[in-house]
A and B are shown apart, each in its own frame.
Chain A
Amino acid sequence: MALLNILHYPDPRLRTVAKAVTDFDAELKQLVNDMFETMYEAPGIGLAATQVDEHIRLLVMDVSEHRNQPRYLINPKIISADGEEESDEGCLSVPGFYEKVRRAENIRVRAQDDSGETSEFEAQGTEAVCIQHEMDHLEGKLFVDYLSNLKRNRIRSKLVKMQKQLVG
């Protein structure tokens, strides 16, 4: 097990579009475990492979109250969506900022497990929001992209300033 380094906005690597997972091997299982450890430690409720500089279609999450229901999705696809809800989202790659984002309220998702087995399930509420947020990462997209230019630029410059201070 190992803690992985999380990329921070505006790191250009966060803009990479992830490739489909084709090798369901031990290395993949190891990455899933490491991503869970990183997510729980951070702590976050979801983490996409993109955020740890691995550009494959994989995300991990746990939206349960007691932090004891880990779930991971490989090559996830949203096959249907309805409803609309707005909630405060934050991101481990945009630390310290929370903004309202509008998402589908109910989604139906198809994904694979670490042996390549495909299944489908429905998600609502926070879980649905989290899946959509993480799947955006796999497309190189961040929640700040939904905000006004003004807000996004303000967040960007604050994070750049903080990163400079950390390096300095």
Chain B
Amino acid sequence: MTMLDSNPRWIALQVILKLVDRGRSLDDTFASEWFQTLPLSKRDQAMSRELSIGLCRWYFILQPLLNQRLQKPLRARDQDVEIILLLGLYQLLVMETDAHAAVNETVKLTRLLKKNWASGLTNAVLRKVVRDDLRWQEIDRVMAYPEWMQQLIRDEWGDLSQQIMVAGNQRPPMTLRIDSRQQSRDDYLKQLESKQIEASAHELISTAVQLKTPVEVAALPGFDRGLVSVQDAAAQIAAELLQCEPGNRVLDACAAPGGKSSQLLQQYADIHLDALDISETRLDRVRENLQRIGKPARLLVGDAAVPEQWFDGKRYDRVLVDTPCSASGVMRRHPDIKLLRRESDIMSLASRQRDILDAIWPLLKPGGMMLYSTCSIFKNENEKQIAGFLQSNVNAEEIGLSSFNWGNACVHGRQILPGESNMDGFYYALLRKSGLD
């Protein structure tokens, strides 16, 4: 006997439907009880992930290719059929699955949906794609983004926009952060070599190691003891920038999943860290991460913009505000951002970020420092955000980041663009509170 849920293509369809109908991110779905307990073999689970991630990555290229081959557009209630067709196109063009298998398996999905009327259509469209002999390599596929996003990237980054979009379409590297207090990067590279894991030192970031191909974390020597963590090179700079001193009270205001909290605790031996997050379940991830590296922090649940919920009245020497953002700098890692974000999200995210900044700033001691970071490339979330904040807070002064060799200096702060030195897109600005409170 079999269950419907044993079909990896069917599962990919369900994953994408959760995304487009309910706004559920791929990461949330993949981590869910539902996905984790499907009757799928390891190989089929990997295939359903590959199909879902790949479809998001190339959705805005595949959809026009499909529409050109439909005589009339599909009705809104047949979005499931559209996704099935796009999954078929993805298999034919990108995965280069055997045409026969790709067509048959895709037609099968229409029957599983009990939309038998779509079988003939699916068969005809996919066979046409095969006949047309499209070559993925010959298709211009840079603009794999919604229209408004392409426009915004072009408006803000001009000549660099092409490079940004190309990088955002690529498969991300798996990058490790070495805890250099425990072990040198060279020694760790040797350990990886002895395990036949191909890796290289990152060209700019001294704690970063890039793997040639991703591996399961369990295969990484010393992962369970916190010798290494998985973190993009661009995110590894945070701790160094914050320049903590012994005995400092430090706040990580949007801590989950705990990558930067871990980094702070590993880099600075005797700080007192509060790790705050709005979500209790996401704070569990922070707890797991800190347990793995064996460093304690006080975990707080609460909204960073509403300190009354969690602040104990003792102000901080250092604050990291790694705010919720559009994630437009990490679309190579989270291609579902391309489908999840709406143009109006940018302004509402910027206003949320400002609320957090305004609420956190008074909790900083005079002379203390705040590091603001996002994984966005949009200026309203980054340099314009900081410009506005500086304008209305006379006791905030910016500490320039001009002496660094990563990223690009902005009017305020510093921007790493996606793909630069193979890093995620990231933005940092460092502010100091003057003696006056």
Contact = CB atoms under 8 A, between A and B. Distances in A.
Q: Do A and B come from one complex?
A: yes
Interface of A: 40-46, 61, 65-67, 88-92, 95-98, 129-130, 133-134, 143, 162, 165
Interface in B89-128: 100, 104, 108, 111-112
A66 to B, nearest CB: 6
A112 B1 CA distance: 21
Contact of B104 (A43, A91, A129, A162): A162
B41 interface: yes
A92 B41 contact: no
B392 interface: no
A97 B41 contact: no
Contacts of A66: 37
A88 B4 contact: yes
A42 B2 CA distance: 9
Contacts, number: 52
B40 interface: yes
Contact of A91 (B1, B37, B100, B111): B1
Contacts of B411: none
B39 interface: yes
A129 B41 CA distance: 22
Given A40-B41, A143-B1, 19 more contacts: A42-B6, A43-B2, A43-B40, A43-B41, A43-B44, A44-B1, A44-B6, A45-B1, A45-B2, A45-B3, A45-B6, A66-B37, A88-B4, A90-B3, A90-B4, A91-B2, A98-B112, A165-B100, A165-B104
B1 A96 contact: no
A45 B41 CA distance: 11
Contacts of A95: 2
Contacts of A41: 41
A88 B39 CA distance: 15
B1 A130 contact: yes
13 contacts: A40-B41, A43-B39, A43-B41, A44-B6, A88-B3, A88-B4, A90-B1, A90-B4, A92-B1, A92-B2, A96-B111, A96-B112, A130-B1
Nearest to A134: B1
Interface of B: 1-4, 6, 37, 39-41, 44, 100, 104, 108, 111-112
Given A96-B108, A162-B104, A165-B100, A65 B3 contact: no
Instruction: Report which residue of B1, B2, B108 has the largest number of chain A beta carbons within 10 angstroms of its beta carbon.
Output: B1
Q: Interface on chain A toward B: helix, strand, loop, or mixed SS?
A: mixed
Contacts of A44: 1-2, 6, 39
Contacts of A89: 1
B4 A98 contact: yes
A45 B2 CA distance: 6
Contacts of A40: 41
Contacts of A97: 111
Contacts of B39: 43-45, 65, 67
Contacts of A92: 1-2
Contacts of A98: 4, 112
A165 B98 CA distance: 14
A66 B45 CA distance: 13
A134 B39 CA distance: 17
* Complex A-B, nearest 10 residue pairs according to Cβ-Cβ distance, in ascending order: A65-B37, A90-B2, A46-B1, A96-B108, A133-B1, A44-B2, A43-B41, A43-B6, A130-B1, A98-B4
